[in-house]
């Protein structure tokens, strides 16, 4: 009951926060110099001033900014994100939707890969603090973090794609003969194409999570109840993984919650390198073209996910940690 009340309260705060985000973003976005027609019209000898005015009117850019915002908000209420200002004039949601699955797939896979690798790494590094293993992994994950993704990607492409010839260079699946493949061949084909992108996008994320696990683990290992567990004569494996790790994972819930919006964020750099038609590229080109509706559309999705991610992290926390649960009850 208390939890429900807590949820409702939290939820009620989300709505004004969300509106605030859209309002600020909308106005900040229009501060950037230039207009959506810039790319089409600037430096185009065939463009006449009347044509420019006409385009402005069509996009509604001749109205004051608050009118434009009100119009956009009205659309949002009926879940209409409007149409893109790009020459294709397609509905914003359609443009984002067609790119979501690939982005979700790659980011989801790389998030899983990061968790699967980083947590055991962090645990081992904490248990064997200051050992050779600890120091070696520290150096390695930070190298991965510091090395530019595009550079690693190109090296891997060169090695696996050209030198060994094992993997394709870019794209999502083979161009020729893909239609005639059986489902398992298609899966294999996709896996081959996705291996490098997933790998590259994980490398940078390893450092953060493994370091986080390590420090949170160190914290827990110093606690009295760990000493108690050891004193009871429990095997080291049980002490580390059952008693220590479960507590150490609590802060990670927050991190995972915060990485939910990242799932659709995508990255321009690695999407460009691997020629993957993801959300990142769409956003980047929309920023360059000042395609406000697409930018706002993406912003809506990302901010909703961020807010929800935060909420989920809080709930997850409350569920996982009895101390926080009781805190809610006695707090108010």
Partner 1 sequence: MRSLLSFLFLFLLGVHCPCLAGSTEQHTGPDYGDAILVGSIGDASNLIPMLSSDATSHEIADLIIDGLVKYDKDLNLVGDLAESWDIADGGKEITFHLRRDVKWEDGVPFTAQDVLFGFNTIISPKTPTAYAGDFLEVKSAQVIDPYTFRVIYKRPFAPALSSWGNIVVLPKHLLAGKDITKSPLCRRPVGLGPFKLSSWKTQERIVLAANPDYFDGRPYLDRYIMRIIPDPATMFLELKSGGLDWMGLSPIQYDRQTNTPFFKKNFRKYHYLSFSYTYLGYNLRCPLFKDKRVRQAISYAIDKEEIIRGVLLGYGVVATGPYKPDAWFYDPNVRRYPYDPKRARALLEEAGWRDSDGDGWLDKDGRPFSFTVLTNQGNSLRDKTAQIIQYRLKKIGIKMKIRTLEWTAFINDFIDKRRFEAVILGWTLGQDPDIYDIWHSSKTGPKQLNFIGYKNPEVDRLLVEGRRTFDRQRRKRIYWRIQEILAEDQPYTFLYVPMALPIISSRFHGIKPAPAGISYNLIRWWVPKHEQKYIMP
Q: Is 168 helix (H, G, I), strand (E, B) or coil?
A: coil
- Closer residue to partner 1, CB minimum distance, 50 or 224: 50
CA distance 40 to 141: 44
Q: How far apart are CA 205 and CA 145, in angstroms?
A: 7
**CB count, 10 Å around CB of 261?**
18
Q: Which is nearer to partner 1, 258 or 287 (CB)?
A: 287
Smallest distance, partner 1 to C-beta of residue 305, A: 22
CA–CA separation, 305 and 264 (whole Å): 9
What's 304's DSSP letter?
H
What whole-number distance in Å separates Cα of residue 168 and Cα of residue 163? 11
* Residues of the shown chain interacting with partner 1 in the complex, contacts defined by CB under 8 A: 32-35, 38-49, 51-52, 54-55, 58, 86-90, 95, 98-99, 150, 154, 157-158, 161-162, 165, 168-172, 175-176, 180, 271-275, 277, 281-282, 288, 290
> For residues 74 and 89, which CB has a smaller minimum distance to partner 1 in the complex?
89
Torsion of CA 258, 260, 266, 267, to 10 degrees: 20
Closest to partner 1 by CB, 121 or 289: 289
Q: How far is the CB of 313 from partner 1 (least distance, A)?
A: 33
Min CB(289)–partner 1 separation in Å: 8
The least distance separating partner 1 from the CB of residue 222, rounded to whole angstroms, comes to 47
State which residue, 54 or 222, has the beta carbon closest to partner 1. 54
Within the chain, residue ranges assigned H as helices are: 2-31, 38-41, 49-59, 65-77, 92-97, 100-127, 132-146, 149-156, 183-221, 224-231, 236-238, 245-248, 250-258, 262-265, 268-273, 279-289, 292-320, 322-331
Q: What pairs with residue 6 in β-bridges?
A: none
Q: Shortest gap between Cβ of 75 and partner 1 (angstroms)?
A: 16
* Nearer CB in complex with partner 1: 64/165: 165
On the 0-12 / 13-18 / 19+ scale of CB atoms within 10 A, 96 is buried
Q: Look up residue 309 and give its two tokens.
A: 């991610």
Between 138 and 174, name the residue whose CB sits nearer to partner 1. Answer: 174
Cα separation, 237 vs 306, whole angstroms: 36
CB of 27 to partner 1, least distance (A): 18
- Taking a C-beta distance cutoff of 8 angstroms, is the pair 304, 18 a contact? yes
Task: Tell me the closest approach of the beta carbon of residue 252 to partner 1, in angstroms.
Answer: 34
Tell me how far, at minimum, the Cβ of 173 lies from partner 1, in Å: 9
**Which lies closer to partner 1 via its Cβ, residue 66 or residue 166?**
166
Q: Could you tell me the two tokens for 173? A: 């699946």
Closest CB 40 distance from partner 1, rounded Å = 5
**Is the CB of 87 or the CB of 327 nearer to partner 1?**
87
SS3 91: strand
């Amino acid at each position: 009951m208390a939890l429900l009340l807590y949820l409702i309260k939290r939820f009620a705060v989300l709505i004004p926060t969300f509106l605030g985000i859209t309002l600020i973003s909308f106005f900040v976005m229009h501060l950037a110099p230039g207009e959506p027609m810039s790319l089409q019209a600037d430096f185009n000898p065939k463009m006449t001033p009347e044509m420019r005015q006409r385009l402005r009117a069509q996009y509604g850019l001749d109205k004051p900014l608050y009118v434009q915002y009100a119009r956009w908000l009205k659309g949002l209420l009926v879940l209409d994100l409007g149409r893109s200002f790009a020459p294709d004039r397609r509905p914003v949601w359609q443009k984002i939707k067609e790119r979501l699955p690939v982005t979700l797939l790659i980011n989801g896979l790389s998030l899983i890969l990061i968790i699967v690798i980083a947590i055991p790494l962090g645990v081992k590094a904490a248990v064997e603090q200051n050992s050779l293993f600890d120091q070696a992994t520290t150096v390695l994950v930070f190298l991965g973090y510091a090395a530019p993704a595009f550079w690693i990607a190109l090296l891997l492409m060169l090695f696996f794609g050209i030198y060994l010839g094992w993997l394709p260079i870019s794209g999502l699946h083979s161009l020729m003969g893909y239609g005639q493949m059986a489902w398992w061949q298609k899966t294999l084909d996709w896996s081959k194409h996705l291996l490098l992108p997933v790998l590259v996008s994980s490398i940078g994320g390893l450092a953060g999570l493994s370091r986080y696990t390590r420090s949170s683990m160190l914290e827990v290992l110093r606690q009295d109840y760990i000493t108690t567990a050891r004193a009871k004569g429990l095997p080291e494996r049980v002490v580390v993984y059952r008693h220590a790790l479960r507590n150490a994972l609590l802060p990670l819930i927050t991190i995972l919650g915060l990485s939910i919006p990242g799932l659709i964020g995508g990255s321009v750099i690695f999407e460009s390198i691997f020629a993957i038609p993801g959300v990142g590229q769409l956003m980047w080109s929309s920023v360059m073209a000042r395609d406000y509706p697409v930018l706002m559309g993406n912003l809506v999705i990302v901010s909703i996910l961020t807010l929800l991610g935060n909420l989920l992290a809080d709930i997850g926390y409350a569920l996982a940690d009895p101390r926080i649960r009781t805190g809610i009850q006695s707090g108010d």
